[in-house]
Structures are given as C-alpha cells and as structure tokens.
C-alpha cells in the first residue's frame, strides 16, 4: 500500500469516527424493523425512516448521508457527501474507489463500494470496525458479478464466532475475502497471513485492515494452500468457497462461494491438506458442505477423507449442523446468485444443478464445522487420533461471544480425561459448568421423576438424558469430593455394588467432560 493511499484511509477513518458511523447509530437512525428488513434485502423502511429524520431536522446528518450512500447503495448530493467526509473529500473517496468519479456538473454521487460499520463481542471483548466490500444485489439492482467480493455474511459470523482465540504466534486465513476472519485472528495472533485467489479481494481486505488499524496481516495471492506451500501455522481459519456448483456451460461460477472443483472436492482438499500446514499443537477451523449419496452418508464421507490423511495424522471434530435435500440446496444457491424464482433462467439453472447431483448420485448436502488439530509431539494431546463426527442439527445454546470458548473448553476437557486412567479419574474432583441445569419430568402425583435431562445453556445447547445415579453424581460435583468418594456414598445409598457403579458412571463422566458439562476443578 502506497503512502498517499494510507493517508486517504487515515482521512476516511477520521471522518467515519467523527460522523459516529456505528452499528448502533444506524439502528438509531432507522430502528430495528428497518434493520430486519435490510437483512431481508429490503431498503424501503430504512429510506422512509431517513426521510422522516431529515424532515424533522430540516437537514441531513453525516451518518444519514453515509448510510444512504454506502449501506443502502443510493446516490447522494455531492455537497452532502463533502460535508460527511470533510477530511477525505469527494476526490479522495473516488481515489479509494468508494464512489464513481465526479465532476462539478454532477448532481449526485454514486457508490461503487459498500462500506458499513460492524460490531462484535468475542472472547477478548467488544469491538467495532468498518468493512468495505463490493456492492450487493440490493444496491446494484441486479445479480452480482462472478468476481464479487463479499461483505460480512451469515457464514462469516458463524466462523468468526467459532474461532478459538488463544494467543498464538501465527494464523492463516484461507480465502480472506473482505478480510473479516483475518482481522478477528489478528486480535489474538502475533501475525496473520491472509490469502485469496482474487486480487480484488486482497485489495479490499488490505484496505479494511488499514482502515481498522491492523499492522500484523500479510496478504498473499493464490489458490488454496499454494501461497503458503512450505509453511505451518498455529491456527488456520477458513470460510472457503464450499458451495457445490455444476461445472456446466452457462452456470455462473461466483468466486466468493465456488472454488471451481467438482462437488465437494474443495472441502475434501482443505480437510486433506490443512494438517500439513499446522504447526504441532495447531488448530484448523473451517466451514464446509459434504454430499450424501445413496451409497454413503455425509459424515462417513468426511470420515473417509480423514482416514486417507496420513501425514500428519490429525485429531478431528466435525459437527454437522444441517442437511438439505438437493432441491432445496439448488434453490438456495440459485437465489443467492441473484436469479429470481419463476424465471426461465432459474428453471434452467435448477435443471443444471439437479443433473449434476444426479450424475454423482447425490441426494442431500450436509453443512457443518470442521476442526482439525495437529497433536503436539512433545505432549500429545490425546492418544491420537481423536475423532468425533456428530450431527447437531438443533438450535445452539445462547452464548453472546460465539462458540469458540466452548470449543476450547470441550477440547481441554477431552484432553484432560483421556490423559487419566479410570483410577486417576476416580481420584479427581470435578465441577459442573455454570450454564448447566437439570430438568425433571414427573407423572402427576409421583414423587420420583420419570425422566431427567441435563441441559446445557450455552455451547451447543446439548440435552443429555440422565438416570438417578448420574444425576446424583453430577449434583455432588462441587470440586471438593472426588468422583470415587461420590460413587462410594451413592453405592451405599442405592444399595448397589460400588465397583459396578463406578464402571457404569466413569465412561459417562468422560463424555460429560468432552461436552464441557463437567469441568476439571480449576487449580488455585
């Protein structure tokens, strides 16, 4: 990045700060209903709110001008923009490719980029940035181009929420797009390498990094792991272009979601090769789609990819969050590309999608999270490899700062329990996680419950059925009594054999540690 460009970005930062161009200011401008409408790609309620505001004040405000131009994608008067960006100026905004170039006769200025505030809460606290990306369908009034650079979408938020934020030396963001994951990683990594196949994406991402004051992100052009061929990282994150798209004539291939491979081959490639780029103890986290064929379930397919990955052998935790029938999948992604249903083009693309699926015998498509970990040779995390592939299709628990901290707790609990023999586990004390409650169901008039469920308030909101013995054990895990002592007392109370009770309960205690429902007692 050149000095003059840095100066322009500094001027933009100072103008956006002075204007108070924040997420809460925008919500204050047009209210939660208009916000919700914008999420549905409808801007009329927001526009009406802006018109009301101007009529009440008798003038526009800097935030309203910036919101109308960069969030709603509408032209504004040059004089208003000059007022909203006093340091950068109209010329500077054109040089940064935020607006089209203007001359003195123009009555309005048009946006050529989307620029909006973004706020978050993660494990390190709250934060607020501005994110530039390409104009979306709403602002363009038509489908986006195949080289579209995406802003912060639902999948971006899912991945940033999943990100484990332990301090690390190095992190890789593969397929950085507007740079959102790289910036999140740069909060806890000393240095981040952000790659993309799109030079435009890298330009936008580096502008965003500069705008938001990051100096520890390096941007590299190239496909998949090519730009980091011989390097390893302590953390890899990727929201890769995982959408399954027919490789057929006349089917648009959007760079932001389609990696150009057949079926789910791109996700397979990332699963197979991420481990080679992990330093010992390093963790990779990414999102993906996988196909269900009539011969093979989606998670079995992912298991197969993992089994073929032999150097290095990685720990893997794969969580499938959803499965869609191929019809619904095709409809979702054709619509996402800007083609409206009931048009001849939509039907043609729908046919191409179904032909492609039929050709490979695909019936459904799974979506989920993949986490890989390269065991640390010095202190192996587990008697490797740890493999956990599960379907968790229900709603998540409530956790304001995402799932990352919960995933860390689960991995720590798993490592802790696998390093202990049954005798060592029985001699240990545990505590119940603070988000866990017990739900008891009774037949009317009965004193004893007919069913009991451990409910996790955060994390994946797991619901684990438990019996009287396990309920009593969990209830007594206060960090003081050992598991063995609790089982001894329970055996007496229930008049059962103590060894048999321990044998029955210890595997279940291990499973509760894996789910961070029980936690090792913190050392003081």
Ligand X SMILES: C[S@@+](CC[C@H](N)C(=O)[O-])C[C@H]1O[C@@H](n2cnc3c(N)ncnc32)[C@H](O)[C@@H]1O
> Does residue 150 touch ligand X according to CB under 6 A?
yes
The least CB distance from residue 160 to ligand X, in Å, is 7
- Give the burial class of 83: count Cβ atoms within 10 A of its Cβ; 0-12 exposed, 13-18 middle, 19 or more buried: middle
Tokens, residue 367:
């979506």
- Pick from 15, 68, 234, 255: which binds ligand X (CB under 6 A)? 255
Residue with Cβ nearer ligand X (201 or 411): 201
Distance CA 258, CA 254 (A): 5
> Does residue 417 touch ligand X according to CB under 6 A?
no
> Does residue 158 touch ligand X according to CB under 6 A?
no
Distance CA 517, CA 477 (A): 11
The least CB distance from residue 167 to ligand X, in Å, is 21
Q: Which residue has the tokens 């996680």?
A: 433
The least CB distance from residue 225 to ligand X, in Å, is 8
Distance CA 396, CA 402 (A): 10
> Does residue 176 touch ligand X according to CB under 6 A?
yes
- Pick from 177, 246, 375, 413: which binds ligand X (CB under 6 A)? 177
Residue with Cβ nearer ligand X (15 or 114): 114
Query: Of 254-262, 272-280, 368-376, 403-411, which part binds ligand X (CB under 6 A)?
Result: 254-262
- Pick from 73, 92, 111, 175: which binds ligand X (CB under 6 A)? 175
| Cis check: omega of the bond before 385, within 30 degrees of 0 | yes
Q: How many residues bind ligand X (CB under 6 A)?
A: 23
> Does residue 181 touch ligand X according to CB under 6 A?
yes
- Per CB under 6 A, contacts with ligand X among 256-275 are 256-257, 259
Question: To which H or E segment does residue 387 belong?
Answer: strand 387-391
The least CB distance from residue 313 to ligand X, in Å, is 25
Q: What is the 3-state secondary structure (H, E, C) of 277-300?
A: HEEEEEEEEEEEEEEEECCCCHHH
> Does residue 241 touch ligand X according to CB under 6 A?
yes
Distance set, CA 399 to CA 85, 448, 460 (Å): 37, 33, 9
Query: Of 170-178, 274-282, 493-501, 512-520, which part binds ligand X (CB under 6 A)?
Result: 170-178
- Pick from 223, 232, 293, 384: which binds ligand X (CB under 6 A)? 223
Q: Are 258 and 245 in contact (CB under 8 A)?
A: yes
Cβ-proximal residues to 271 (8 Å cutoff; 6+ apart), any chain: 288, 302, 305, 306, 309, 370, 372
> Does residue 244 touch ligand X according to CB under 6 A?
no
Q: Which residues bind ligand X (CB under 6 A)?
A: 150, 156, 159, 174-177, 180-181, 195-198, 201, 223-224, 239-241, 255-257, 259
């Amino acid at each position: 990045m050149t000095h003059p460009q840095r100066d322009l970005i500094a001027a933009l930062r100072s103008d956006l700060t002075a204007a108070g161009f924040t997420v809460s200011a925008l919500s204050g401008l047009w209210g939660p209903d208009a916000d919700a409408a914008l999420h549905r790609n409808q801007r009329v309620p927001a526009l009406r709110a802006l018109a009301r505001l101007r009529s009440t004040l008798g003038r526009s405000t800097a935030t309203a001008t910036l919101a109308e131009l960069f969030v709603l994608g509408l032209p504004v008067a040059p004089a208003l923009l000059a007022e909203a960006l006093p340091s950068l100026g109209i010329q500077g905004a054109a040089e940064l490719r935020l607006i089209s170039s203007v001359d003195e006769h123009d009555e309005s200025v048009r946006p050529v980029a989307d620029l909006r505030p973004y706020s978050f809460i993660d494990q390190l606290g709250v934060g607020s940035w501005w994110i530039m990306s390409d104009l979306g369908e709403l602002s363009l009034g038509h489908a986006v181009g195949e080289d579209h650079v995406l802003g912060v979408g639902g999948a971006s938020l899912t991945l940033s929420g999943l990100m484990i934020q332990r301090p690390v030396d190095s992190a890789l963001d593969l397929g950085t797009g507007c740079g959102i994951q790289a910036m999140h990683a740069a909060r806890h990594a000393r240095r981040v390498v952000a790659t993309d196949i799109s030079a435009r994406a890298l330009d936008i991402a580096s502008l965003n990094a500069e705008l938001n004051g990051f100096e520890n992100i390096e941007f590299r052009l190239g496909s998949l792991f090519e730009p980091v061929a011989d390097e390893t990282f302590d953390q890899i994150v990727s929201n890769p272009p995982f959408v399954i798209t027919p490789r057929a004539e006349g089917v648009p291939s959007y760079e932001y979601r389609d990696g150009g491979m057949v079926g789910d081959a791109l996700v397979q490639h990332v699963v197979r090769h991420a481990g080679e780029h992990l330093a010992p103890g390093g963790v990779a986290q990414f999102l993906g789609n996988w196909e269900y064929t009539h011969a093979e379930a989606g998670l079995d397919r992912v298991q197969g990819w993992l089994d073929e990955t032999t150097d290095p052998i990685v720990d893997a935790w794969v969580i499938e969050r959803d499965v869609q029938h191929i019809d619904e999948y095709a409809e979702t992604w054709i619509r996402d590309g800007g083609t409206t249903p009931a048009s001849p083009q939509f039907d043609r693309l729908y046919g191409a999608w179904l032909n492609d699926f039929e050709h490979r015998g695909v019936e459904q498509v799974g979506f989920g999270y993949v986490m890989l970990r390269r065991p640390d040779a010095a202190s192996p995390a587990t008697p490797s490899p740890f493999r956990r592939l599960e379907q968790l299709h229900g709603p998540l628990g409530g956790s304001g700062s995402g799932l990352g901290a919960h995933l860390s707790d689960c991995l720590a609990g798993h490592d802790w329990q696998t390093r202990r023999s049954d005798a060592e586990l029985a001699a240990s004390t545990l505590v119940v996680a603070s988000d866990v409650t017990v739900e008891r169901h009774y037949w009317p008039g009965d004193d004893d419950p007919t069913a009991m469920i451990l409910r996790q308030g955060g994390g994946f909101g797991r619901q684990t059925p438990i019996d009287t013995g396990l309920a009593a054990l969990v209830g007594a895990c206060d960090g003081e009594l050992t598991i063995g002592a609790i089982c001894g007392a329970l055996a007496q109370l229930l008049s059962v054999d103590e060894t048999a009770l321990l044998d029955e309960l210890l595997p279940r205690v291990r499973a509760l540690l894996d789910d961070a429902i029980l936690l090792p007692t913190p050392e003081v």
